[in-house]
Amino acid sequence: MVIGTLYGLVGAIELVAPDLLGNIGWLVFGRIRTVHTNLVVFGFLTPALLSVGHFVVPRLLRTQLFSEKLGIFIVCLWNVIVAAIFITLSIGLSQGREYAEAIWEIDILVAIAFALIFINMIMTIRNRQEPLLYVSVWYITAGIILTLIVYAIGNVIWVPGAGALTGIPDAVILWFYGHNVLGLLLTPLAVGIAYYVIPSATRTPLYSHTLSLAGFWSLLVLYSHIGTHHLIQVPAPTWLKVVSIVGSIGMVIPVMIVLINFWYTVKGKMRTIHENIGAKFVFTGTVFYLFTCIQGPIQALPQVQRLTHFSNWVVAHAHMGILGFSGMVAIGGIYFILPKMTGRSIYSKTLAEFQYWMILIGLVGFMVVLTTVGLVQGNSWLNGETIYRILPQIHNYNIVRAGLGVLIVTGAIIGLYNMVRSIFFNLGETA
């Protein structure tokens, strides 16, 4: 998260002062942006959520992880993958498809890693002592197997050179994948973890198990095929666009089911959420899930997207969803399980609180500034202005955005320090 957000900050500074860093290859905006998105998605969120998942699933099944050695091997493999993504993208080796930039060799390693994670999880489920499969186990396991399939298809791994089809079919398949990295990897893992943290922190049974399963299946049915809502402006088949728009509106169903279930569980117990920093991060994540998923269906409408597409409006939505929802849940999940793993409370609750506020203020600021910039850009473009004539109008906003980025990077650095201290040099009270 520290390195990924630092890259985001450099990108934001380049949008304010494009010539500041000269013409050094690995520092040009195109590469900085790609490294930023890949590091935050594959370097921070995926391993953070998977690690909490590896703690939660065996606990809920009252059994050991099938193979600790295999788990450690996957961690090493994943770090090799992230380092390889970082190096290849920095030197300009990219397949040029958003969220699928990694070259073929890395794609194969990702597929192997997810296959191994799936084996470890499914064997843990097979060996379980607890007959009931709590909904977190459903979400986390589904996220892993579906990502394996979607990653292989979306990266067109049967075409090693290009990693792509040609023409519109490629755009359709890319966004089937790009959308599902969010919808079938980050979302189910984050929801699965929230389903564990919220009842545990409040020491309250889940409001409704029936609702939890209804939410799970409706997410799978609806989210999986709506990626074409990223292509409303593209000559993709109209029926596919209609399906994606209808599905996007329908997404309100699984989202509201999940949120009603969380919030009714918490009802009357907000104090316990406030007192536990892990639960506080996770609960805040659920609030951002609501905001993201109200905005999402609206911007899937063609009339709205005509204004918002290609503008910073979408970048606001992206940060709200990925950092506000899955990022908050990932950080909260780690803070929640750390004391259970080390047997001691986290190194500093004050630092964790400080990190929380740094990220929250930075993020809310991002949402306001980027949404405003998006509307300025969209309206001007609709009125026939060219892109470069709008730049002076959004310059000051870009400066504020870079400043807000400093808060988020600071939050990331504080979090890293706090977690390293909690794990390796913690002499604090017993949890």
Question: Which residues contact ligand HEM (rule: CB under 6 A)?
Answer: 1, 5, 8-9, 11-12, 15, 33, 36-37, 40, 44, 98, 182, 186-187, 229-230, 248, 251, 255, 292-293, 296-297, 299-300, 305, 308-309, 314-315, 317-319, 321-323, 325-327, 401-402, 405, 408-409
Residues 6+ apart with CB under 8 A from 364: none
**CB of 312: closest distance to ligand HEM in angstroms?**
6
Instruction: Report in angstroms how near the CB of residue 415 gets to ligand HEM at its nearest.
Output: 10
Cα–Cα distances in angstroms (integers) from residue 295 to residues 26, 180, 200, 230, 260, in the given order: 34, 18, 30, 14, 18
Minimum distance from CB of 10 to ligand HEM (Å)?
8
Q: Which two tokens stand for residue 228?
A: 């074409």
How far, in Å, CA of 69 to CA of 12, rounded? Answer: 41
The residue (of 60 and 182) whose beta carbon lies closer to ligand HEM is 182
CA distances from 9 to 20, 190, 396, 405 (A): 13, 25, 16, 6
| Nearest in space to 48 (alpha carbons), one of 282, 343, 287, 359 | 282
Residue with tokens 């995926």: 46
CB of 12 to ligand HEM, least distance (A): 3
Q: Please compute, for residue 346, the number of CA atoms within 13 A of its CA located in the half-sphere on the CB side.
A: 24
Residue type, 156: V
Q: Give min distance, CB of 131 to ligand HEM, in A.
A: 32
Question: In this complex, which beta carbon is closest to ligand HEM, that of residue 268 or of residue 392?
Answer: 392
- Max alpha carbon distance in the chain (Å)? 65
* 80 vs 246, beta carbon nearer ligand HEM: 246
* 145 Cβ contact list (under 8 Å, min separation 6): 118
Which lies closer to ligand HEM via its Cβ, residue 54 or residue 179? 179
The CB-of-132 to ligand HEM minimum distance in angstroms stands at 28
Please state the φ and ψ torsions of residue 397, each to the nearest 5 degrees: -60, -40
CB of 183 to ligand HEM, least distance (A): 7
Nearer to ligand HEM, 326 or 355 (CB): 326
Nearest to 40 by CA among 13, 72, 7: 7
Question: Cβ closer to ligand HEM: 152 or 407?
Answer: 407
217 vs 431, which CB is nearer to ligand HEM?
Answer: 217
